[in-house]
């Protein structure tokens, strides 16, 4: 007598995240087989070091997209935050920690203001955040049209020192901050009332209103979180480059959206996980690292690879959505009524 091994069922909404995880493992394994020293623990740690700021920005974008919105201002806020760090430390001579606190406050208020405008004036998030993108980028060049170097002991210490891990692996403070932000986002989305409200609003704002959920407060909170993450990403980018420039982070908003979508979050909102966003950022990081190891390919191949992945994951989301609607439709769950017999 033989018994079949029962495999655990996979929920449909987990499929995109599992696909992203499989894609990351496949890409990293391919790089390890093709390039010498690619499959080391330090190269894996470098994925977090080199993409810490993008991970933090993408986490904020995840909150926004889960609520059914979009935020195009994140790249400009990253650049503005870097400029404020450079001006505050190098020109005004303020202490580094004080400058960082002010930058985080400015980014949070900037995001909350956009959320307020979106909800109160019923403006499409695309338009409101597009205006925010132009405003933040314009403020960068109002402060200075040239790059400003950061000359501050605190920033130098954080940027240049590394934390030693077992096995000789060394990581930056920025990577640790990004992982702490990731853990906090997982907790907020899955174990707090705010997280449940975000998913509910993304699933249907009118239904959330009928349920008595605080839609206005939650939407403002979501964009405030995105503004905070963008400002924190700007601080990490300042640690990474030790400079502020109005041309920094051009197009980062598109990279953040790409990471969120590749991570399995639905663009229509209401479905997705922060762990998927982390995997999406790692996939993009592996692609960039492979191009660096190759050495002969243009960096534009990264954009080509991202575009292919976006098309593939949007198609996957569409397929999962069609199957979900097919299973939930009345015709799929109940037999069709019998046709009446003809009468003589």
> Is residue 144 assigned to a domain?
yes
Please say if the pLDDT value at position 337 is more than 60. Answer: no
Tally of domains within the chain: 1
First to last CA, the chain: 58
| 264 phi/psi in degrees, rounded to 5 | 100, 0
> Is residue 156 assigned to a domain?
yes
Of 29-38, 175-184, 320-329, give the range with the top mean pLDDT.
175-184
> Is residue 331 assigned to a domain?
no
Q: pLDDT tens-digit profile of 278-303? A: 999 999 999 989 888 887 666 677 77
Is residue 129 within 8 Å of 68, Cβ to Cβ? no
**Predicted local distance difference test score (pLDDT) of residue 56:** 98
Encoding tokens for residue 315? 């198609």
> Residues 6 or more apart from 191 whose CB is under 8 A from it?
none
> Residues 6 or more apart from 261 whose CB is under 8 A from it?
267, 280, 310, 313, 314, 317
> Residues 6 or more apart from 293 whose CB is under 8 A from it?
31, 34, 35, 38
Mean pLDDT over 13-30 rounds to: 89
**Predicted local distance difference test score (pLDDT) of residue 322:** 64
Within 10 A of 181 (CB to CB), how many other CB atoms are there? 21
> Is residue 7 assigned to a domain?
no
d(CA 154, CA 149): 14
> Is residue 340 assigned to a domain?
no
**Predicted local distance difference test score (pLDDT) of residue 343:** 44
Torsion of CA 291, 297, 303, 306, to 10 degrees: -50
Domain that holds residue 271: 14-26+36-321
d(CA 147, CA 139): 14
> Is residue 205 assigned to a domain?
yes
d(CA 312, CA 81): 34
> Is residue 309 assigned to a domain?
yes
**Predicted local distance difference test score (pLDDT) of residue 292:** 86
Q: Helices (H) and strands (E) in the chain — how many of each? A: 15, 4
Is residue 280 within 8 Å of 46, Cβ to Cβ? no
> Is residue 1 assigned to a domain?
no
């Amino acid at each position: 007598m033989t018994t079949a091994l029962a495999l655990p069922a996979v929920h449909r909404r987990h499929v995109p995240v599992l696909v992203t995880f499989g894609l990351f493992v496949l890409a990293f394994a391919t790089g390890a087989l093709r390039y010498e020293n690619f499959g080391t623990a330090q190269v894996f740690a470098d994925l977090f070091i080199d993409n810490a700021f993008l991970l933090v920005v993408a986490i904020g974008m995840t909150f926004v997209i889960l609520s059914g919105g979009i935020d195009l201002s994140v790249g400009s806020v990253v650049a503005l935050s870097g400029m404020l760090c450079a001006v505050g430390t190098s020109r005004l001579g303020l202490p580094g920690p004080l400058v960082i606190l002010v930058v985080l406050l400015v980014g949070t208020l900037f995001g909350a203001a956009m959320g307020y405008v979106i909800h109160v004036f019923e403006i499409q998030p695309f338009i409101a955040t597009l205006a925010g993108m132009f405003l933040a980028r314009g403020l960068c060049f109002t402060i200075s049209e040239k790059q400003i170097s950061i000359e501050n002991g605190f920033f130098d210490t954080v940027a240049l020192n590394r934390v030693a891990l077992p096995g000789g692996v060394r990581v930056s403070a920025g990577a640790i901050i990004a992982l702490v932000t990731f853990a906090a986002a997982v907790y907020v989305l899955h174990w707090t009332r705010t997280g449940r409200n975000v998913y509910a609003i993304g699933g249907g704002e009118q239904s959330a209103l009928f349920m008595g959920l605080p839609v206005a407060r939650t939407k403002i909170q979501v964009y405030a979180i995105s503004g905070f993450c963008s400002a924190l990403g700007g601080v990490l980018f300042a640690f990474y480059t030790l400079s502020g420039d109005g041309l920094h982070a051009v197009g980062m908003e598109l990279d953040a959206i790409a990471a969120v979508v590749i991570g399995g979050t639905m663009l229509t909102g209401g479905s997705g996980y922060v762990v998927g966003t982390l995997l999406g950022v790692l996939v993009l990081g592996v692609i960039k690292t492979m191009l660096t190891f190759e050495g002969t390919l243009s960096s534009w191949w990264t954009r080509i690879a991202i575009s292919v992945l976006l098309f593939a994951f949007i198609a996957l989301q569409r397929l999962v959505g069609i199957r979900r609607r097919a299973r939930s439709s009345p015709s799929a769950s109940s037999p069709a009524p019998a046709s009446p017999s003809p009468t003589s």
